[in-house]
A and B are shown apart, each in its own frame.
Chain A
């Protein structure tokens, strides 16, 4: 029974279809695992066992009637940034205390319509602002991985730390996540899981708590490339409720993933070889290049000259958009309210008490760069730099199909190690943020281990709306890397 927990979504779908086990049994083993592990890992901030059992029962009925959906009976964790009807949704912020949305996000609706089972809501950095899950109002989530012979608690990355942790520790079969500057791919790399950020506009943002609207995109974190293909299949698609969600057909990703790799052109952007990058990261990258050569792909060096400006431009654009989006939290419509002498002081008191330090920093940064006299110098300049970054990619994609880079400049770090210096924390996103700035899809695939015994990921960046090719290339890494080590189960 206990090995049910180790199945991938693809394997579990087969077992459920064959009647080897029921959706209710499969859900129950996950609920037991959450119960046992969550105290140590803090991945789920709100497990929803009753709802899970109810949904699993309905799945068994549909399977019995031959009406199973693509994700029928699959227990999923939901990042607490997705609004779930009548289930508390907080973005891990104090300011959304007790908020129970009267509606369901499009992404989660799509998952439930396909038969998915909700296990609960997952931890994240407050409003998805962070790279370590340490800014959560509900305490940090802990990485299931530890360094060899060292019991220091490590961060799972962020902002989708709870999603990556829960998938890595087998507390759920797959999880939803969101990525504004690397928040799916960096935690996936830190936990040895697969994380896919789709093209901007591939997945609806409706009902997802907004951080930076021109960058935010939802995607899956899973334990295999095939599972990510399956989850994306269900999550993607046009939605009239999000005007930025693009109306283009959703291809069959599970089929596209299996197309032949021979002749695929892989670009290696030389600007990603940054100063201070660990030798083992460089070696992993070289290994990745060899794997693609062995699979019959061609390798070509490409240049993305504006790469180094992506991160500073991001730290203008993202806070600017965040400061606008977070203006809605005023103590009137939902969540926390701290009274004051008048309406202004009520606003100011509520926001002072409700937001954490990093969120305040970004709101102020955003307010500053949008304020009179600075808009052109900062925000407009950053949006122009963004065009330059996009032009770099457009030129590179004239010559190649996919780009291969490391996902992060280092493996997971310790809790508290980088939280003192905001700038040092921001540098975590150096390889991932470019894809958000240009709206391109990216995926992190586990590819090896560091000398300290921690997982490392390789990133692939694809052309807009070409997730099929991205998944096909991701399979090359997955197959070549083979069976990678798993974390020692210290948490139960």
Chain B
């Protein structure tokens, strides 16, 4: 499985990662070799096999849909690189 540089740039865009030209060319080689290695999975017969959705047999517990936590905006924004009046500050999004 070979992927080209355009694909690397496309998935980097999807992943919100800026990649330099040098990175694109090394990633193209590395990702291609990892993808050709994982393609050996094609040998496995998985007809009529359910995909695993949970590693252990368990039933997810339900709880009441109610507010049990919160009321501390200062703590939530404490680690933000930029915050103002308990809000996160981001570059202007809407003109």
A residues engaging B (CB < 8 A)?
98-102, 199-201, 214-215, 240, 243-244, 246-247, 306, 308-309, 312-313, 315-316, 323, 327, 330-337, 339-349, 351-352, 355, 360-361, 363-365, 367-368, 371, 378, 380-388, 390, 422-423, 437-439, 464-465
Neighbouring B residues of A363 by C-beta, 8 Å: 15, 17
Note all chain A residues with C-beta closer than 8 A to B56.
Answer: 199-201, 246, 439, 464-465
Contact pattern, B 1-22, Cβ under 8 Å of A = 1, otherwise 0: 0010001100110111111000
Whether A422 contacts B80 in the complex (CB less than 8 A), given A246-B58, A364-B12, comes out as: no
Instruction: Please give the distance in Å from A283's CB to the nearest CB on chain B.
Output: 29
Q: Is the CB of B50 within 8 A of A367?
A: no
Q: Is the CB of A367 within 8 A of B14?
A: yes
Contact assessment for A333 and B41 in the assembled complex, using a CB-CB cutoff below 8 Å: no
A385 to B19, CA, bound (A): 32
Interface of A is mostly: helix
Apart from the given pairs A334-B81, A351-B16, 14 other A-B contacts in the complex at a CB distance below 8 Å:
A201-B55, A306-B44, A312-B38, A313-B41, A330-B16, A342-B91, A346-B91, A347-B16, A364-B27, A371-B14, A378-B38, A383-B53, A384-B50, A386-B51
The chain A residue with its CB closest to the CB of B12 is A364
B residues less than 8 Å from A345 (CB atoms):
18
Contact B82 A337 (CB under 8 A): yes
6 closest A-B pairs by beta carbon, nearest first, are A439-B55, A383-B51, A337-B81, A334-B79, A384-B46, A352-B18
Instruction: Enumerate chain A residues within 8 angstroms of B90, measured Cβ to Cβ.
Output: 332, 343, 346
Query: In the bound complex, do residue B38 and residue A316 qualify as a contact, i.e. CB atoms below 8 Å apart?
Result: yes
User: Which chain B residues lie closer than 8 Å to A243 at the CB level?
Assistant: 60-61
Please measure, in the bound complex, the distance between the C-alpha atom of A169 and the C-alpha atom of B88, giving whole angstroms.
43
Residue among A247, A352, A355, A437 having the largest count of chain B Cβ atoms under 10 Å: A352
Residues of A near B51 (CB, < 8 A) are 380, 383-384, 386-387
Contact A386–B52 (Cβ < 8 Å): yes
For chain B, residues 52 to 95, give those with C-beta under 8 angstroms from any C-beta of chain A: 52-58, 60-61, 63, 72, 75-76, 78-82, 88, 90-93
Q: 28 A-B contacts, Cβ less than 8 Å apart?
A: A98-B79, A102-B78, A201-B58, A214-B52, A246-B56, A306-B44, A312-B37, A332-B81, A334-B79, A335-B79, A335-B81, A343-B93, A344-B16, A345-B18, A347-B16, A351-B16, A352-B17, A352-B18, A367-B15, A380-B51, A383-B51, A384-B46, A387-B46, A388-B46, A422-B34, A423-B33, A423-B37, A439-B55
Rounded to whole angstroms, the CA-CA distance of A174 and B26 in the bound complex is 40
Report yes or no: A367 in contact with B38, Cβ–Cβ below 8 A: no
Known: A243-B60, A315-B38, A423-B37. A309 touches B79 (CB 8 A): no
Known: A100-B79, A361-B31, A385-B44. A332 touches B88 (CB 8 A): yes
User: Which of B7, B19, B30, B38 has the most chain A CB atoms inside 10 A of its CB?
Assistant: B38
Q: How far is the CB of B32 from chain A (nearest CB, A)?
A: 11
Q: Which residue in chain B gives the minimum CB-CB distance to A246?
A: B58
Query: Is the CB–CB distance between B14 and A343 below 8 Å?
Result: no
Residues of A within 8 A of B91 (CB): 339-343, 346
Select A309's contact among B40, B49, B72, B78, beta carbons within 8 Å: B40
Of B15, B18, B37, B80, which is in contact with the most chain A CB atoms at under 10 Å from its CB? B15
Given A309-B40, A371-B11: A315 and B52 interface contact (C-beta under 8 Å): no
- Decide: A387 near B49, CB < 8 A? Known: A214-B55, A364-B17: yes
Q: Within the complex, what minimum Cβ distance (angstroms) separates B56 from chain A?
A: 5
- A364–B88 CB distance below 8 A: no
The answer to whether A382 touches B41 (Cβ under 8 A) is yes
Query: Are A364's CB and B31's CB within 8 A?
Result: yes
- Residue on B nearest A201 in the bound complex, by CB: B56
Within the complex, what minimum Cβ distance (angstroms) separates B57 from chain A? Answer: 8
Docked-complex contact A364 and B55, CB < 8 angstroms: no
Contact B41 A381 (CB under 8 A): yes
How many angstroms from the CA of A363 to the CA of B12 in the assembled complex? Answer: 9
B17's partner among A348, A368, A422, A423 (CB-CB below 8 A) is A348
Least Cβ distance of B94 to chain A in Å?
Answer: 10
A94-B19 Cα distance, complex, nearest whole Å: 17
Q: Which of the residues A201, A361, A387 comes within 8 Å of B50, measured between beta carbons? A: A387
